[in-house]
Amino acid sequence: MQKIKIGVIGGAGYTAGELLRILIYHPQVDIVFVNSSSNAGNPVTVVHSGLIGETDLIFTSELPLEKVDALFLCSAHGDSKKFIEANEIPEKIKIIDLSTDYRAKSPAHDFVYGLPELNRDAIKKATHVANPGCFATAIQVALLPLASKGLLQDEIHVNAITGSTGAGVKPSSTSHFSWRNNNISIYKPFGHQHLQEIGQSIKQLQPDFNKSVNFIPVRGNFTRGIYVTAYTHCSLSLDEASALYQDYYKDAAFTFLTDKNPDLKQVVNTNKAIVYLEKHGDKLLVVSIIDNLLKGASGQAVQNMNLMFGLDEKAGLGLKAAGF
């Protein structure tokens, strides 16, 4: 099979770095160009130094779109839409957008929401895919089995802590070492931008859902990973809930139910989502963990590319070389 020719837009950030680390070793991919206007002419390894000795790619400001089969858009939120509107992109090119720009369903675009645990068949047929947000991925993995049976009948309470890489590569007052180390805080309580796509997906499976998702995001003092705890009223026993989750994820390539209380390092440097259940009275507690840069961003983007091109869904996504 001829290799897929890839272009990357916005190649200097954390998600782009993770994407390049995956694609360089993907057995069916050739990276044609990595676009970054601020780094044009510099070796990719100047920014992504972990790739020294593994690639001789050079950042470019040019856009040789006619040479690629697929584009990954890794630019800041708002920039993907600007890029697509400003450039004539050949119809044959498949696009995977990692920003928020096209996650909301709209008659104005044809992007498919790229959560394989929800839309695998639609992704396989799509030309344009909107990659989900990191918090959104972890929270949906926790809730969608319940929504699939119309069982979300009460408010949902979610606490989720994320690593500092979720804030992006540009330093800020709450991401630099002196502030983040040995520290913790909440942000955007009840109003995080990922709530829109979470609600959209729940209603896709359970159209009558009209309760609140009470989400408290937490800044963690570690670099990568998301740990979600969610609970809601549920009439199912633990055995019944476990059977539901096992059935819902029986064909999932990377999402697994465990009967052991998990820890975050189990998913760091993997494309896995691990889910754990406990029953407390009439409440079902769901723990969901992912790597925010992989299953929450670049790994899932490659998973979507694999589906779009008819490849093995797991191609290039073995990862996990270290246990700690």
| Residues taking part in catalysis | 134
Helices 298-308 & 14-23 angle (0-180, nearest 10): 50
252-259: long-range contacts at Cβ-Cβ below 8 A with a sequence spacing of 24 or more? 252/116, 252/117, 253/116, 253/303, 253/313, 253/314, 254/295, 254/303, 254/314, 254/317, 255/117, 255/141
